[in-house]
Chain A
């Protein structure tokens, strides 16, 4: 199976194999923390996420959801087992290659927005694209404005990020995650800090994005209604996957 996997050349692999639909795959992933004592946070995680799948992760607090997301998003490289994105084993990539991969192919929305407070909304959204440097500054600006438009923030573009409300800031963070049109978007309780009205708005936007942009979306959430509206729910308990079901 491994051999077969290696032969697949990413996006343009065609339909020669069922595996070509899989964009992220974990194989027997274990994760330990050593502080204050050795402690297994994740135990034998085997998950396959299909391209353009909209999936939610649920589970009690402390069950290891965030930890898994940090591993999948390549921010945390200290684990056992293997994580594959397309036909690449993350363990084979250097730190810099991982940074490039994050920049180009992964968007992340955290519970906190992490906008640079002194920069304008527009500048914040542009940051990942300037790093990628695939387009001219004018094109990047254009794209950033488009994303802000989708999130209903076009009129806020030139305001400083710290002058916005919490809900607005979180939407700017989503625009920033989208700017490079990544194939995968991770969300770690993206509505966790918001009141219910703003939370609804953000979840609504994520659902719309799914309809329009065909990205793979994986979101950790405590919101049953939101989870129910995704295609698939994975449930964690004490570092293990205890349930993995498709909504019909």
Chain B
């Protein structure tokens, strides 16, 4: 196909000849593009893969919507309530938030009502107690989350994240607790050990470890334990209706924001969707993405310079060719085409090689077993290998090489043949 193109299309033929006349420089420029595209595929795939894993786990372990109540911190003072005249300021210092019990009123009615909403996949009541865990002489601060195991499992697929033990024992046994993996490790606690849990209210309970749970989110696994709701209520010394949170899972998580607002209005409580709850994480993602783009852009700029360089070299060497082509009737745009073709040929071949290289490297690195216990714990790196990513990398590569090749091509098109022919 190349041969046929070259035969009928002298500009393509000339372009190829120029490149073949400078094999080494062409190869270097090409490898520059290859490297840029490969890094693109690798880096973007890694970051996106990481973020998807993280979001998956976060979505699996946090509610799409959380309903709760909290103390109203911006309450107007009584003086302000009565003194509404705008003619002067009244300032009340050191106003404390009113002791609003962070209890959800009518929790069982709300749960029942939300369950019937067609957008909702599951609802689970929740009650967290700030506690100190004790095992022998070791102690750790954390929280004991009171849950209804069955609905909690339906929402967060708890079974899948059980490292050891039996989830359902939490329901069947009366004084049971499931520890986060990090917490269990810190306490040195094993299945069937008894540990002591002390709440801020001074209630102390002896609970039996029936399972170890590992969400994969390291920070959470270090502080969280699960107990039955009535165990949590005992710890907080409250009545049997006391619920602080209602966790909701939706059929479509994109509706979270809208529905959160609806529920807040309807049930007269506070709400938070999963994006708000993880706002800081998404902030970190943004920075990560920016760093990735910067790396990719700088590499593409460098490979662009490689192309610019070789093109300028060829043009200076081939001034005579350019002059005679113009003298025998080739137009400015034909000349431009010759040199743009050269850049694009470099871009396409280098780019395709780069896609292949990036893919291979990501497959190799992705298959190496590693144990990272940082932000999230994984046993190998996950790469995003979405075809869109490859298309994007290739398109970026071609755009970068075209831009880099355009300036020299324009310069070549502007060569005045008379100047060159006189000069000889």
Are A and B bound to each other?
yes
Q: Which of A80-129 contact B (CB under 8 A)?
A: 95-96, 99-104, 108, 110-112, 114-116, 118-119, 123, 126-128
Kindly specify which of B23-31, B61-69, B92-100, B324-332 makes contact with the partner chain: B324-332
Q: B331 to A99, Cβ gap below 8 A?
A: yes
Of chain B, the residue at the smallest CB distance from A128 is B328
Report whether B327 and A131 are in contact in the complex, using a CB–CB cutoff of 8 Å: no
Question: What number of A residues sit within 8 Å (CB to CB) of B?
Answer: 31
Chain A residue with Cβ nearest B324: A114
Q: A103-B328, A131-B330, A131-B334 are in contact. List 4 more A-B contacts (CB 8 A).
A: A96-B331, A110-B327, A116-B14, A127-B328
Q: Please report the C-alpha to C-alpha distance between residue A95 and residue B413 in the assembled complex, in whole angstroms.
A: 12
Q: Sorted from nearest, which 5 A-B pairs have the closest CB atoms? A: A103-B329, A114-B324, A128-B328, A102-B329, A99-B331
CA distance A102 to B7 in the complex (A): 23
Which residues in A have their C-beta under 8 angstroms from that of B424?
110-112
Min CB gap A54→B, angstroms: 22
- The 0/1 profile, CB within 8 Å of A marked 1, for residues 330-341 of chain B is 111110000000
Tell me the residues in window 327-379 of chain B with beta carbons closer than 8 Å to chain A beta carbons. 327-334
Q: Could you list 29 examples of A-B contacts with CB < 8 Å? A: A70-B418, A75-B326, A75-B417, A75-B418, A75-B421, A76-B418, A95-B331, A95-B332, A96-B331, A99-B326, A99-B330, A100-B331, A101-B329, A102-B328, A102-B329, A103-B330, A104-B329, A108-B327, A114-B320, A114-B323, A114-B421, A116-B14, A116-B321, A119-B17, A126-B10, A127-B325, A127-B328, A130-B8, A131-B334
Shortest CB-to-CB span from B150 to chain A, Å, is 79
A245 to B323 Cα, complex, angstroms:
34
- A2-37 Cβ-contact flags toward B at 8 Å (1 or 0): 000000000000000000000000000000000000
A112 cross-chain contacts in B, Cβ below 8 A: 320, 421, 424
A115–B17 alpha-carbon span in the complex (Å) = 14
Are A99's CB and B329's CB within 8 A?
A: yes
**Which B residues are closer than 8 A to A by beta carbons?**
7-8, 10, 13-14, 17, 20-21, 320-321, 323-334, 417-418, 421-422, 424
A244 at the interface (CB under 8 A from B): no
Residues of chain A lying within 8 A (CB to CB) of residue B422: 66
In the complex, what residues of B have CB within 8 A of residue A176's CB? 328
Residue of B nearest to A114 (CB): B324
CB-nearest residue of chain A relative to B20?
Answer: A118
**A223 in contact (CB, < 8 A):** no
CB distance from B326 to the nearest CB of A (A): 7
B17 to chain A minimum Cβ distance, whole angstroms, is 5
Q: Does A243 contact B (CB under 8 A)?
A: no
List chain B residues, Cβ under 8 A from A123. Answer: 13
Determine the chain B residues whose CB is within 8 A of the CB of A164 once the complex forms.
none
Contact of A128 among B321, B323, B329, B418 (CB under 8 A): B329
CB-defined contacts of B21 to chain A, threshold 8 Å? 118
Cα-based distance from A115 to B325 in the complex (angstroms) = 10
Contact A131 to B329, CB < 8 A, known contacts A112-B424, A114-B320: yes
Chain B's nearest CB lies how many Å from the CB of A144?
A: 13
Whether B7 and A137, one on each chain, are in contact in the complex, defined by CB atoms closer than 8 angstroms, is yes
Distance in Å: Cβ of A90 to nearest Cβ of chain B: 15
Closest residue of A by beta carbon distance from B321: A116
Chain A residues whose C-beta falls within 8 Å of the C-beta of B333 in the assembled complex: 96
Specify the main secondary structure of chain B where it touches its partner: helix
Task: Determine how close the nearest CB of chain A comes to the CB of B39; give it in whole angstroms.
Answer: 35
Nearest CB in chain A to that of B325: its residue: A127
The reply to whether A131 and B321 contact each other, CB–CB distance below 8 Å, is no
Closest to B320 in A: A114
- Say yes or no for A132: interface residue by CB 8 A criterion: yes
Question: Which of A127-143 touch B at CB < 8 Å?
Answer: 127-128, 130-132, 137
B418 close to A127 (CB less than 8 A): no
Closest Cβ–Cβ distance, residue A99 to chain B (whole Å): 5
CB <8 Å contact, A100 and B329: yes
Of B13, B324, B327, B418, the most chain A CB neighbours within 10 A belong to B327
* Minimal beta-carbon separation of B333 from chain A (angstroms): 8
Residue of A nearest to B318 (CB): A116
CB distance from A55 to the nearest CB of B (A): 20
Q: Which residues from A are CB-within-8-Å of B332?
A: 95-96, 99
Complex Cα distance A111/B7, Å?
Answer: 29
Residues of A within 8 A of B418 (CB): 70, 75-76
Task: Tell me the residues in window 32-62 of chain A with beta carbons closer than 8 Å to chain B beta carbons.
Answer: none
**Contact yes or no, B327 A102, CB < 8 A:** yes
Cα separation A123 to B330 with both chains bound (whole Å): 15
**Shortest CB distance B414–A (Å):** 11
Query: Are A131 and B320 closer than 8 Å at their CB atoms?
Result: no
Contact present for A75 and B329 (CB under 8 Å)? no
Query: How long is the Cα–Cα vector from A126 to B330 in the complex, in angstroms?
Result: 13
Query: Which residues in A have their C-beta under 8 angstroms from that of B324?
Result: 114-116
**Bound: A8/B323 CA distance, A:** 33
A162–B20 alpha-carbon span in the complex (Å): 16
In the docked arrangement, what's the CA distance between A55 and B326, Å? Answer: 25
Cβ-defined contact, A131 with B7, below 8 A: no
Which of B323, B328, B331 has the most C-beta atoms of chain A within 10 angstroms of its own C-beta? B328
Which of the residues A96, A110, A130 comes within 8 Å of B10, measured between beta carbons? Answer: A130
Bound Cα distance A75, B330 (Å): 12
CB proximity of A225 to chain B, nearest CB, Å:
25
Contacts of A101 in B (CB 8 A): 329
Cα A205 to Cα B96 in complex, Å, equals 110
* B419 smallest CB distance to A (angstroms): 10
